[in-house]
Structure 1
Amino acid sequence: MKSARLLILVLVIQPIFSYSQLPAFSSRFSRIEEIPVPPGFERVHAAPGSFGAYLQQLPLRKNRTVFLYNGQPKADQSLHYAVIDISTGSKDLQQCADLIMRLRAEYFFERGKYDSILFRGSDHDLFRYSDWKKKCSLEQHVCLMAFMEQVFMYCGTYSLAQQLRSKRLSEMQIGDVLIKGGSPGHAEIVADMAIDRKTGKKIFMLAESYMPAQDAHLVLNPVKPSFGPWYELNDENKIFTATWIFTSDQLRYW
């Protein structure tokens, strides 16, 4: 009888859902938007054709190994949930802010909006793909990547933080950037979001590259490992990610 009562008590106090039940990464997840959201949450569907929708639809690699630009596997493979299927290059260039600028450029490139591909350099010069394209006789995407190599060399977290605009953490949207400009600095991009419609609680995913240049990946939540790649959006002053600590005033948007 006691054991039966104990069983009933356990069933009553045990939450129906635990974040530890979130599935590990599976090769069945071919895009970011296919990664499950926790029960009770609904994925935020970015407007069709928007930068946010582009990020949600980014393809994922079936292999979870993060490789460096030189082809060697990254020493610590415990900090990420999944690897984004986008090239890294063979040079130590596509690091944190570089990946974010690359994603932004690819988004506009796919839509033929070449005039929108522009980035501010550390010396405040503007790098415009539309100007570069006029002088490039190579295949179009090869031209884009040659342009981006120049951007990677002369732009970084400092210049990108200056180019982007500040916003409140509570106003976060997919495509926004957490960024600490300078040296050292770091940047991660909001790649997906979900919301609990009953409570209004929001969660989000972050994508990054790092130093040395390495495959783009979705970072795990180090504060609550059972959340997997999902982070809680709250009013705390600091955001602890797998590789950096951001402050609440470091959210930027395009």
Structure 2
Amino acid sequence: MRIAIVSILTVLISSFLFFSFKNEKLNNVEGMTIKDRFYVPSGYERTKEAKNSFGDYLRNLPLKPAGSLVKYYNGSTKSNNNIYDAVINLPIGKKDLHQCADAVMRLRADYFYSQKQYDKIHFNFTNGFRIDYNKWRQGYRIAVKGNKTSWVKTAKASDSPQDYWKYLEMVFNYAGTASLSKELKSIEVSDIQIGDVFIKGGFPGHAVIVVDMAINPKNNQKLMLLAQSYMPAQELQILLNPSISSNNKVCWYAINSLPTLETPEWTFKSSELKRF
């Protein structure tokens, strides 16, 4: 009975969004950032984000030209079977590392790196070992022997983009959804913000990150845009909303109190929403 009620509610909300958005132009093919590519539906306005905040950083991420296909780490392309509508224009390296949780950690680290707040860049390996970028930039590197992990001074001090990427690839190697889900704190859907993460820790697990939000000031209904990477390693992509069937592709998701969030390649529980 509960499942049936949830299904009915999902259909009702999806139908509301379909009829609200189906005749609107929601995409600007000339826009080269998330904020400029995706129009806010009528009646909504973008949430206010402080300048240079993480939220401001995410909604201004660069995009590839409209119609671009997602690239895998090996250069091949990911077919777009109603999964995504835009590709975030960031390099992902040539190793099979930049997957779902890795992409989320990368965005968080990139933000602090761009602000030169190096002391705030740190993550935990699956075995619990904390890897701080500040230590890495001093020339220390990771030594792994069995289940033992330690720092060893083997390089010159550097915060170059090349050495920073090597740090990220080390994180990608030994961290994932299982470790990241333990690092993040759970929050209520009603308190959602840009930068929050829907994450299922496991082997496999999955994670998507909120990269933009809008609100209807009349009824406080909130909408969000979601981004993900996936397996094998691939570029970040802005997800389509699979619950809205329309020739006018819609990426906005309604934020509500339903127990599940359906995305094109994963379904999350609302209890799996977390924050850095």
The reply to whether TM is greater than 0.5 is: yes
Q: CA RMSD in A?
A: 1.7
Quick check: 1:25–1:82 contact (8 Å CA) kept in 2? no
Note the C-alpha offset of 1:159.
Answer: 0.4
Q: Which of 138, 156, 172 does residue 176 from structure 2 map onto?
A: 156
What corresponds to 1:58 in structure 2?
61
Deviations 1:62-107 (A, max 9, x none): 1421111100011345310111111111111000000010001110
How many percent of aligned residue pairs carry the same amino acid?
A: 41
- Give the match for residue 127 of structure 2: 123
Q: Counterpart of 2:89?
A: 85
Other-structure match for 2:39: 36
Residues 22 and 36 in structure 1, CA contact (< 8 A), matched pair in contact too: no
Counterpart in the other structure of 1:211? 231
Partner residue, 1:182: 202
Give the distance between the partners of 2:50 and 2:174, measured in 1 at CA.
32
- Whether contact under 8 Å (2:197, 2:274) holds in the other structure is yes
- Partner Cα separation in structure 2 for residue 41 and residue 26 of structure 1: 17
**Could you tell me which amino acid in structure 1 is paired with residue 54 of structure 2?**
F
Separation of aligned partners in 1, 2:44 and 2:60 = 19
> 2: distance between equivalents of 1:39 and 1:71?
38
| 8 Å contact from structure 1 (residues 37, 194) kept in 2 | yes
2:273 match: 251
Contact 1:221 1:242 in 2 (8 A): yes
Q: Please give the alpha-carbon distance, in whole angstroms, between the structure 2 residues aligned to 1:194 and 1:24.
A: 13
SS in 2 for 1:21: coil
**Match status 1:48 vs 2:48:** no
**Cα deviation, residue 58, structure 1:** 0.5
Query: Structure 1 pair 193/143, CA: closer, same or farther in 2 (3 Å)?
Result: same
The match for 2:148 is none
Corresponding position: 1:75 with 2:79: yes
For 1:27 and 1:65, the matched residues in 2 are separated by: 14
Could you list the runs of 4 or more consecutive aligned residues of structure 1 that deviate by over 3 angstroms after TM superposition?
22-27, 136-139
Rounded to whole Å, the distance in 1 between the matches of 2:193 and 2:60 is 15
Q: Does the CA-based 8 Å contact 1:83-1:216 persist in structure 2?
A: yes
Aligned residues of 1:164 and 1:252 also touching (Cα < 8 A): yes
Aligned with 2:114 (options 93, 102, 110): 110
User: For the residues of structure 1 that align with 2:47 and 2:227, how far apart are their CA atoms?
Assistant: 17
Contact 1:27/1:61 (CA < 8 Å) preserved in 2? no
Structure 1 window deviating more from structure 2 (73-82 vs 92-101): it is: 73-82
Tell me how many residue pairs correspond in the alignment.
Answer: 239
In 1, the alpha carbon distance for the partners of 2:134 and 2:203 equals 29
Question: Would the alpha carbon gap of residues 225 and 205 (structure 1) be closer, same or farther in structure 2, given more than 3 Å must change?
Answer: farther
Cα contact 1:65–1:77 (8 A) shared by 2: no
CA contact (8 A) 2:82 2:242 kept: no
What are the superposed Cα offsets for residues 19-52 of structure 1, whole Å, 9 maximum, x if unpaired?
1234364431111111101001001121111111
Q: Is the 8 A contact 2:27 2:39 kept in 1?
A: no
Aligned position for 1:20: 22
Q: TM-score, normalised by structure 1?
A: 0.90
Partner of 2:9: none
**TM-score scaled by structure 2?**
0.83
- For residues 222-246 of structure 1, the C-alpha deviation after alignment (integer angstroms, 9 at most, x for no partner) is 0114461100011110000111100
Which residue in the other structure is 1:7 paired with?
none
CA distance in 2, matches of 1:37, 1:86: 24
Aligned 8 A contact 2:101 2:207 in 1: yes
Equivalent residues of 1:26, 1:62 under 8 A apart: no
